[in-house]
Chain A
Amino acid sequence: MNTFWTRLNAVFFFGVTVLLCLALLTATTTYFHKGLPEIETLSLNKIKSFRAQNKVDRAIINFDLTADLRPAFNWNVKQIFVFVTAEFSTPTNPLNQVILWDRIIERKDDAFIDLKKVLSKYGLIDQKNELRGNQVTLHLYWDHMPLTGRLYTHSVSKDTFKLPPDYITA
Chain B
Amino acid sequence: MMKDLVNGQVEELGKLWKNKRQLSFQVLNLAMIILSALMIWKSLMVLTKSESPVVVVLSGSMEPAFQRGDILFLNNQDDPIRVGEVVVFKIKDRDIPIVHRIMKVHEKPDGSIEVLTKGDNNRVDDRGLYAPNQQWLQREDILGRARGALRYVGMVTIILNDYPIVKYVLVGIMGLFVLTTKEN
Residue of A with least CB distance to B2:
A1
Judged by a CB distance under 8 angstroms, whether A167 is at the interface is no
How many residues on A have C-beta within 8 angstroms of the other chain's C-beta atoms?
Answer: 33
How many residues on B have C-beta within 8 angstroms of the other chain's C-beta atoms?
Answer: 28
Judged by a CB distance under 8 angstroms, whether A14 is at the interface is no
Known contacts A95-B105, A96-B107, A102-B120; A151 and B147 CB within 8 A of each other: yes
- Interchain CA distance A97-B120 in the complex, whole Å: 17
| 16 sample A-B contacts, Cβ–Cβ < 8 Å, listed by A number | A81-B101, A81-B120, A83-B84, A93-B106, A93-B107, A94-B107, A94-B108, A94-B109, A96-B106, A98-B105, A99-B83, A102-B120, A145-B66, A149-B149, A150-B147, A150-B148
Determine if A79 and B105 form an interchain contact, defined as CB atoms under 8 angstroms apart: no
Judged by a CB distance under 8 angstroms, whether A122 is at the interface is yes
Determine if A1 and B1 form an interchain contact, defined as CB atoms under 8 angstroms apart: yes
From residue 101 to 115 of chain B, which have CB atoms closer than 8 A to chain A? 101, 103-109, 114
Write out, one digit per residue, whether chain B residues 71-103 have a CB within 8 A of any chain A CB (1) or not (0).
000000000001111100000000000000101
- Interchain CA distance A23-B147 in the complex, whole Å: 15
Q: A-B pairs with CB below 8 Å: how many? A: 77
Judged by a CB distance under 8 angstroms, whether B39 is at the interface is no
Residue of A with least CB distance to B85:
A153
Which chain A residues lie closer than 8 Å to B4 at the CB level?
A: 1
Known contacts A85-B84, A153-B84; A145 and B1 CB within 8 A of each other: no
CB distance from A17 to the nearest CB of B (A): 14
Residues of A within 8 A of B (CB): 1, 23, 27, 78-79, 81, 83, 85, 92-99, 102, 104, 106, 122, 125, 127, 141, 143, 145-151, 153, 155
- Interchain CA distance A142-B5 in the complex, whole Å: 56
Q: Among A1, A92, A98, which residue has its beta carbon within 8 angstroms of that of B104?
A: A98
CB distance from B52 to the nearest CB of A (A): 17
Determine if B120 and A104 form an interchain contact, defined as CB atoms under 8 angstroms apart: yes
Q: Among B66, B82, B149, B150, which residue has its beta carbon within 8 angstroms of that of A97?
A: B82
Residue of B with least CB distance to A27:
B148
CB distance from B147 to the nearest CB of A (A): 6
Which chain B residues lie closer than 8 Å to A102 at the CB level?
A: 120
